[in-house]
Amino acid sequence: MSHAGRVRFTLVALLAVVAAGEAARTQQPQLPNPYRLVQGWPTLPKSMNGGRWGELIRADLDPNGNIWVFHRCFNTVPAGAATCVGRSEPPILQFDPSGKLLRSFGGEMFAFPHGFTVDAEGNVWTSDANANETVLGMSARNANGVMRGQQVFKFSPDGKVLMTLGKPGVRGNGPDTFDGPTGIAVAPNGDIFVTDGHGKNDRVVKFSKDGRFIKTWGRHGAGPGKFDQPHDISIGGSQGRVFVADRSNNRVQIFDQDGNFIAAWKQFGRPSAVYVSRDDTLYVSDSQSNSKVNAGMARGIYVGSARDGTVTAFIPDPDLDQADVNRISGASGIVADDKGTIYAADVGTHNLRKYVKVK
| pLDDT tens digits, one per residue of 261-286 | 999 999 999 999 999 999 999 999 99
* Alpha carbons within 13 A on the beta-carbon side of 302: 31
Q: What is the pLDDT of residue 330?
A: 86
Is the pLDDT confidence value at 337 over 70? yes
Least Cα distance to 259 among 215, 307, 194 occurs for 215
Domain boundaries, given as residue ranges, for the chain = 1-30, 31-357
Contact 297, 289 (CB under 8 A): yes
- pTM for the full model? 0.92
Q: What is the mean pLDDT of residues 304-317?
A: 97
On the question of a cis peptide bond just before residue 42, with omega within 30 degrees of 0, the verdict is yes
Structural domain 31-357, CATH architecture:
6 Propeller (2.120)
Q: Residue 10 — very low, low, confident or very high, per pLDDT cuts 50/70/90?
A: very low
Beta pairing class for 161-165 and 241-246: unpaired
How many residues in the chain? Answer: 359
Q: What is the pLDDT of residue 261?
A: 98
3-state SS string for the chain: CCHHHHHHHHHHHHHHHHHHHHHHHHCCCCCCCCEEECCCCCECCCCCHHHCCCCEEEEEECCCCCEEEEECCCCCCCCCCCCCCCCCCCCEEEECCCCEEEEEECCCCCCCEEEEEECCCCCEEEEECCCCCEECCEECECCCCCECCCEEEEECCCCCEEEEECCCCCECCCCCCECCEEEEEECCCCCEEEEECCCCCCEEEEECCCCCEEEEECCECCCCCCECCEEEEEEECCCCEEEEEEHHHCEEEEECCCCCEEEEECCCCCEEEEEECCCCEEEEEECCCCCCCCCCCCCEEEEEECCCCCEEEEEECCCHHHCCCCCCCCEEEEEECCCCCEEEEECCCCEEEEEEECC
| pLDDT tens digits, one per residue of 224-273 | 999 999 999 999 999 999 999 999 999 999 999 999 999 999 999 999 99
Q: What is the pLDDT of residue 1?
A: 54
Q: What is the pLDDT of residue 326?
A: 87
Q: What is the pLDDT of residue 319?
A: 87
